[in-house]
Structure formats: structure tokens, C-alpha cells
Chain A
Amino acid sequence: MSVHSDTFALELDGLSKEYPGVRAVDNVSFTVEKRTVHCLVGENGAGKSTLVKMLTGALRPTSGKIYVAGKNHTPTSPQEAREGGIATLFQELHVVDELSVIENLTLGMEKKRFGFFVKSDLEDRVVATLKAIEPSIDPTAPVSSLSVAQKQIIEIARAASSGADIIIMDEPTAALSEREVERLFGVIRRLRESDVTVIYISHKLDEIFELGDNVTVLRDGKHIVTKPLSQVNGRSELIELMIGRPVFQDYKPRTTVTDEVVLQASGLSNALLKDVSFDIKKGEIVGFYGLVGAGKTEIARAVFGADKYSGSIALNGKQVGHSPREAIAAGIALVPEERRTQGLFTSLSIRENIPVMNLPRMSAGGLYRSADEVSAAQEYVERLRIATSSIDKHTEKLSGGNQQKVVFAKCLFSQAELLLLDEPTRGVDVGAKTEIYEIIKNLADQGDAVAVFSSELEEVLGICDRIFLLFDGVVREELANGPNIDISHILNVVTGGGEAAVQ
């Protein structure tokens, strides 16, 4: 094993990344052949992102080795990773709005002498690459004048012209139109012909079959298989490899669901959503399931008025205004995706956090009595069983599960009829997870309407009465939960397979 030939573009040997209590990547070994498009697939949380971060120097492996063309690769920054031959195209945009297209393309790659730029063929090269992907972009235009998709193309062109031997692309087509995707595929094929290896990560399985030579499946941080796509027996085999285990489904039909429609959303559209319509009934728990970028958070934020949209949202027949303030006043509350940055005031205590969404409820003339604040806090700490020594404890010091319960308490104090829960159990331990599920079910039993936006299938299957499947900003299908629900069908739909692909 000590000899590492350079026949492979990339070789991973026992790579692991451990966090306290979790092995995000667990002893992964596989090889990537030169001049191939190598696809990396897995469910959310399978370890793809962690793996990529180790390749690009954003994270250090706990153990294991990476070899690029036979050479040991231990980058500590994206810069070093690129010097080692790996360029990366991230999901998020990393362009400088104030600079022109061409300046963005050459940023950090300029030839320099005595602190000044020296003219080189770099510019011509990047412009040629850019033209090949999207001829309509003017290289001298400021990037701020471009659309999101066009900015994405700039990133792609930059990675493609960096001269790296390996280019990692993480969900590069998320914001692209079909025509742009076709052009991108053309560029990727051309890169392959010019000796570049592409590591391609996507949730869209069709893209993988169209483009890939080999595929590696990760599941729960472990390496499952690496094989040529020609030997994979269609989408269903890939999906089975991704799930691996039987999905645990623990749904018991609830009796409190009524026919009374609380929320009616019709034709919601914005940058990410395309004509999304749905309703939620009193006492019902509705699930929105889709992979990263499918539009879950966008729907939640649109209903809550936090993002712009066209279309209409009505609560109990009345139109809801386009701001969180109006949504809260109408009776909608949101538990946001990121509790620390969006939901919680970590510099304030539990007592101070709980009433903040509806202070007018307990105040008169701009002042409130601290006795009211204390009793409200005590009530919700008890009701949601928030584990804390005191209501004056800063929320910073609470565990993830208890922090999440404080965010729940904030929403409940606002006396909402409709609760939007975006990833309600993310970063929460198993015990607190069960408790949160109980809280959600109790709320629905008491007549609240609840929408759960989740990328965990088990969560959606466990508590939701109805499930909307999302892909690419579109509601692809609506399913009633029950014992006969077809899980591989769900996975097929959320990875872009249509009705037609169902056997």
C-alpha cells in the first residue's frame, strides 16, 4: 500500500472526519480514474459535503490520506488545494459584484511581478472558456449586472479555466436553466477530453446518468460502492444503494384532522419557486419533503412573508400581507431553518426570548410587567419541558434541543394558528427529537395547522398526514401518508424522476 501509483487522479485511503459524537465521514476509501466524470451521490447528511471540504482544505481529516496523482494531498486552504491540482465549484456564489466578469474570472490567478499584474494569455483563455459555455455574457460587464444563473456560469468558467487536474462541482446546475445546463455538460465533456477529471455532485439522478462515467455512493458517512454507471441498473438501483436500509415508518393516522382549510396558497412563484399551490387544514400536519435546493425553505419563507413572491396566500380566507410582522399578526409563526442565526436571541435569557414575537400581548403604553414575562416564561418552560436551571439562563448556554424548544415557545406565545417548522429537528439529539415530535402532534391535536419542511424522510413519514414532494421549486406530487406509501417512489420523485419512471 505504500506505493501510490499515479494512474489514478485521486485516491482516498481510510479517510475519516469525526466530530464529538458523530463520524461525518467514516473510513472512506475509493479511487477516481483519470479523465472521467466521477459522480458522488448520497442522501442529505451522507457525508458528501464533509468529504469535499477535506479535499479543498476547508476541513482537516481526523485520519486517513488523500493522494492526488499519487502525491500526498494535505491542503489547509482552497488556495493550497488548487496549487495541489483541485479546483472547486461551490454551491454558494463566490463572485465579487464590484468587479467585471473578466476580473472575476482571473481573480487570484493573475501573473504578478513586483506587485503589478503582468499581461498573459490567461485572459484570452478564460474568455474562450466563458464563450464556450455562455456566449451572451459580455466579459467586460460588471458582475453586479448579471443574473444569479449567469454568476453561476462565471464560477464554472473560472473553475474550468484554472488549469486544475481535478474540478469538483457541487450541485452546479441548481440555479441554471435547461439551455445553460446543456452548455455546461458540453464544457464538462470537453474538460474530460482535455485530461481533466471532474467530480460531480448532484441530487438530480438524470444528470448523473447522462454525464457520469463512474459513481460513488455514500451513506451515513460510509463508502457503499464505486462502480461504472454502465453497470448500474437504472435509477432504482442507485436509489436503493443510497437508502440502503428499510426506512422506518411509524405513522399512526390521527383523528383530529378536519376539512376546514386554514391556509390556501395558490400560484406562489419567485426566483426559486414555480407556481406552487397547496392547502393546509385545521388540525393537520403537512410535510414538505425534498432535497437540498428543492424549495422547502423558500415556501416557508414566502408564506411567512420573509421573501418576495407572486401569487396569493390566504389564512382563513383573508389575504396575508407580505411581511413577517403582518404574517404574525394574521396568526402565522415560523421556526426558521437556522435557529442560532435566525430564530434565537442568544444574548438574551429564556425569559426575554419567549414573549418577543408578541410583546404587545402583554404590554400597555409601551411597558410590560416583568411578572407577566416571568409567568409566560414559566408556563412554556413547563409545557415544552425545557431543561434549564432557571428562566434567566442565557439561551446561548442551552443544548440544541432546548434552544429549539425556546424558539417553539416564541412561536406558541404569538398565538399562531399556523406553524411553519423549517427543519424542526436539525442539530437536535435523539431524545429531544422525540419530544419535539410529541409537541408537534399535540399542537395539531389541539387544532393548530402545522407545516413541516424537512429533508429527513423519516421525519416526514413519521408525523405528517399529507406529504408534498418537491423538486426544483415545483410541487411534484401530493401523497396521503399511510402504511402503503411507496418510499422508492418518493425518492424517485424528489431526485427528478417523473411519474413515467415509476414501474
Chain B
Amino acid sequence: MANMIENSQSSLGSSVAKFLREYYIYFVLVAVVVLLASANLDRFDLFERGNFLNERNIINILRISAPLLVICGAFTLLMVSGYIDLSVGSAMSLSAVVYAMLAINGVPFLPAFLITVCVGVLLGAINGFLVVRLKITPVIATLITLSLYKGVALLLVEDGVSAIKSSALAKMPKWFNDYGRDGTLLNLPAAFWMAVAVTVLLVIVQRRGVLGKYAAATGGNPTAAKLSGINTGRVVFLLYVLVGVTAALAGIARSSFMSLGDPLSGDGMELTTILVVLLGGTAFSGGEGKVLRSFCGALIIMSLTVGMLTIVPAYYQTLVLGAALLIAAASNHLVSRKGTS
């Protein structure tokens, strides 16, 4: 009898723990939203007076978040497969520069968009080649391309100018801003809806797709994956290409939003992306992680960042983000340890 009670208690405890592990990110998101909503901004002169979460601020946050939102899903799949891409920020910068150059030289929207996406494919394929074919450690390989891609982006911008932008000689076309800024559905820009579309697609890939299953298998147990006949090299290569494509989409979104092609616009993006993916509960060692949870992680981080802009003094912001990463990593560690005990 005593045994039975003990059993049912422990299974209750473990199912609560399982529930928390599964859904904690959504609770955190709600908590952040409530926290920010209740912040009274009368004392601050930034944004509008009144509640922080008014329509304009929400739209603003989602608009700025578009690049991070579009990258984090593919990045999650890559990390689930046990690999990492530190070059996303540089790939994003390079794409932003390429896109702006095409636009300022008179290439219409759609070709410019597609060419930039192709650049993303190429950048991802280079990473995949270095890691899969040349078998360079992922961290080292993508640190190399982090430098390379950024170097190319800087080279593309003429001396004495900080970015590709309207000047006396050439003007950015009128449409350039539309993609990242102009409200479409629900007053949100196309870039945001692109991020949502990519996320929906990747959620399906993760739940139903062969690629999603193979990514989880490769990251969870590479030896067993090979012995199960999975071409792990091809899986990893495809995921790098996917990350490259989303980095290009992020570059387009960012350059459209800022109406310039800044070769430094993606700086630090790799760290922010890792932060939100880890916050979403993805295991650093691979095997576990969910696209949708990273999406929520990105929303949390962006809300906090923007919220902090108005509430926390600038000096503290990086520190607070670091603390958030620490909490994410520590809880990740605790959760995965619980899983094995």
C-alpha cells in the first residue's frame, strides 16, 4: 500500500515536472508581457505616456524582432542536430549589404530578394561544406566564416562610407522600406509575416518532416543514426543551408527596416540567437529542442530588450541579458539532469 501511494505521488510529481519542462517558456512569455503591461511609464518620456503595451509599441517590438524571429527556428533545428553556426550574424550583415546594393543599383524588389536568398544558400552551403566535408569542428569552421563573411560585407561598402545608403549619387528606391516597415495585415510588416510563415513551416518540418526527425536522431545519438541508415552528413548540410537562407531573410528585413545596407548590422546576432534558443529549452548538446519554443524565447528577449530601453539604464542592459542567458543555461542543465535521473 505504502509503495503504491509513494509511486502515485512520484508520478504526479514527475508529470508536473514534465508539464513545466514542456510549457514553462509560454508561462515566462506571459509573465514578461504582464510585467511590461503593468509598468507605468508616466515617469518616462520615451514612447507614449501610459501603458507600455499599447498598439504602437507592440507593433514596434514585433517589427524590430523580425530578423531574430526568422532565424531562430532554423537555428533550433541545427542545434537539435548537435551543430552550431556562429556565422549567422555575419551572413545576415553580408545579405543586408548585398540586398541594399542590388536595390540601389536599380534591381527590382523580387529579383533582389531572390538573389539575396541565393546568397544565403551559398553562405550556408560553405558552412556545411567546411563542417561536413572537411570535418572542421563546427565552432571553429563557423568562427572562420564569421570573419570571412563580415570581411566581404565590409569590402563591398566603399571607403569612407559606413553603409550602402542613399547619397547624392544614388537614391534608395521607394519600395525599399516597405518590406520591413510598412504595415500590412494587422498593421505588421511583411518581414514579420515572413518570420511567422518560416516558423509555421519549420514547426511542420519538425513535427512531421523526415528532416526534422533525422535532425533529432542525429543530435540525440549520432552513432545510432548512422547505424539506422541516416545520411547524417546530408542532414547537417541541409540544416546549415536552411540557417543560411534564414540569415539572408533576416538581412533583408534588417536592411529594409533601417533603409540601408550596414555591414555591421548583424553583429552579435549569433549570441542573441543562441540565447533565445537556449532560453526555449533546446539542449546545447543536441537531440532536444522545439522551434516554437525558440520563437517564444525570441519574443521574450525582444520584449525585455525593448522594455529595458525604456526602464533600465543603458549600462545595465547587457548585464541583464547576460543574467538571462545564465538562467537559461542553468535551467537547461537542471532540466536535462532531471531527465536522466
The residue from A344, A368, A410 contacting B221, defined by CB atoms under 8 A apart: A344
- Interface segment among A36-44, A282-290, A312-320, A359-367: the answer is A359-367
- A306, closest chain B residue (CB): B227
- Contact check, A345 vs B223: say whether CB atoms are below 8 A apart: no
Minimum Cβ distance to chain A for residue B314 (Å): 41
Give the residues from 286 to 341 in chain B that come closer than 8 angstroms, CB to CB, to chain A. Answer: 287-288, 339-340
Contact digits for A396-412, partner B, Cβ 8 Å, 1 yes 0 no: 10000000000000100
Chain A residues, Cβ within 8 Å of B204 = 367
Q: A346 in the interface, Cβ–Cβ < 8 Å?
A: yes
- Cβ A324 vs Cβ B340 within 8 A: no
Q: Are B216 and A352 touching (Cβ within 8 A)?
A: yes
Q: Which residues of chain A have C-beta atoms less than 8 A from B287's C-beta?
A: 345, 347
Interface of B, helix, strand, loop or mixed by DSSP? helix
- In the complex the two chains form, what is the Cα distance from A304 to B229 in whole Å? 10
Residue from the list B209, B226, B231, B288 in contact with A306, Cβ < 8 A: B226
Is B224 a contact of A370 with CB atoms below 8 Å? no
Q: CA A328 – CA B207 in complex, angstroms? A: 24
The verdict on B208 contacting chain A, using a C-beta distance below 8 Å, is yes
Given A346-B221, A370-B207, check contact A336 B231 (CB 8 Å): no
User: Smallest distance from the beta carbon of A330 to chain B beta carbons, Å?
Assistant: 11
C-alpha gap A355/B210 in the complex (Å): 10
Asked if B96 CB lies within 8 Å of chain A CBs, one says no
Across the interface, B227 reaches (CB within 8 A) one of A334, A366, A370, namely A334
Say whether B3 faces chain A, with CB atoms less than 8 Å apart: no
- A359 and chain B: residue at smallest CB distance: B210
- In the complex, which residues 261-315 of chain A have their Cβ closer than 8 Å to any Cβ of chain B? 304, 306
Q: 8 Å CB contacts to B: which residues of A62-91?
A: none
Docked Cα-Cα span, A394 to B14, in Å, equals: 13
Residues of A within 8 A of B214 (CB): 359
* Chain A 335-373 interface residues, beta-carbon cutoff 8 Å to B: 336, 341-348, 352, 356-360, 363, 366-370
Given contacts A366-B210, A366-B211, A396-B340, contact A343 B217 (CB under 8 A): no
Contact partner, B208, options A334, A346, A367, Cβ 8 Å? A367
Q: How far is the CA of A270 from the CA of B248 in the complex (A)?
A: 47
Task: List A contacts of B209 (CB < 8 A).
Answer: 366-368
A325 within 8 A of B: yes
- Minimum CB distance partner of B226 in chain A: A324
Residues of B within 8 A of A (CB): 204-205, 207-211, 213-214, 216-217, 220-221, 223-231, 283, 287-288, 339-340
Find out whether the CB atom of B230 lies under 8 angstroms from the CB atom of A356: yes
Give 12 CB contacts A-B under 8 Å.
A304-B227, A325-B229, A325-B231, A342-B223, A345-B221, A345-B225, A346-B220, A348-B216, A348-B220, A360-B210, A367-B209, A370-B207
Nearest-Cβ distance from residue B229 to partner chain A, whole angstroms: 4
**Tally of A interface residues using CB under 8 Å:** 33
Whether the pair A368, B210 counts as a contact (CB closer than 8 A) is yes
Q: Return B217 CB to nearest CB of chain A, in Å.
A: 5
**Please, which residues of chain A bring their CB within 8 A of the CB of B229?**
324-325, 327-329, 357-358, 414
Q: Are B208 and A369 neighbours in the complex by a CB distance under 8 Å?
A: yes
Q: How far is the CA of A396 from the CA of B221 in the complex (A)?
A: 12
Give A304's nearest chain B residue, CB to CB.
B227
Q: Which residues of B contact A343 (CB under 8 A)?
A: 224, 227
Cβ–Cβ contact A324 & B228, under 8 A: yes
**A111 vs B17: C-alpha distance when bound (angstroms):** 53
For the complex formed, measure the closest distance between the CB of B254 and the CB atoms of chain A, giving whole angstroms.
30
Cβ contacts under 8 Å, B210 to chain A: 359-360, 363, 366-368
Q: Are B221 and A336 in contact (CB under 8 A)?
A: no
* Least CB distance, A395 to chain B, in whole angstroms: 10
Docked-complex contact A345 and B217, CB < 8 angstroms: yes
Q: Indicate if the CB atoms of B217 and A348 lie closer than 8 Å.
A: yes
Distance in Å: Cβ of B148 to nearest Cβ of chain A? 28
Q: Measured between C-beta atoms, what is the minimum distance from B220 to chain A in Å?
A: 4
Who on chain B is nearest to A336 by CB?
B227
A92-112 to B contact mask, C-beta < 8 Å, 1/0 = 000000000000000000000
Query: What per-residue 1/0 map shows which CB atoms of A163-207 lie under 8 Å from chain B?
Result: 000000000000000000000000000000000000000000000
A359-B213, A366-B209, A366-B211 known; A341-B227 Cβ under 8 A: no
Instruction: Write out, one digit per residue, whether chain A residues 411-422 have a CB within 8 A of any chain B CB (1) or not (0).
Output: 000100000000
Cβ distance A207 to chain B, nearest Cβ, rounded Å: 33
A304 to B224, CA, bound (A): 13
CB-CB under 8 A from A352, the residues of chain B are: 213, 216
Residues in B with CB closer than 8 Å to A414 are: 229
Residue of B with least CB distance to A332: B229
Contacts of B227 in A (CB 8 A): 304, 306, 324, 334, 336, 342-343
Closest A residue to B228 by CB, please name it. A357
A464 to chain B, nearest CB (A): 23
Q: Are B230 and A345 in contact (CB-based, < 8 A)?
A: no
C-alpha spacing A368/B207, complex, angstroms: 9
Contact of B220 among A334, A345, A363 (CB under 8 A): A345
- Tell me the bound Cα distance from A238 to B300 in angstroms: 71
In the assembled complex, which residues on chain A have CB atoms less than 8 Å from the CB atom of B224?
Answer: 336, 341-345
- Taking A336-B224, A347-B220 as known contacts, 6 extra A-B pairs with beta carbons closer than 8 A to each other, sorted by chain A number, are A343-B227, A358-B229, A359-B213, A360-B210, A367-B209, A368-B209
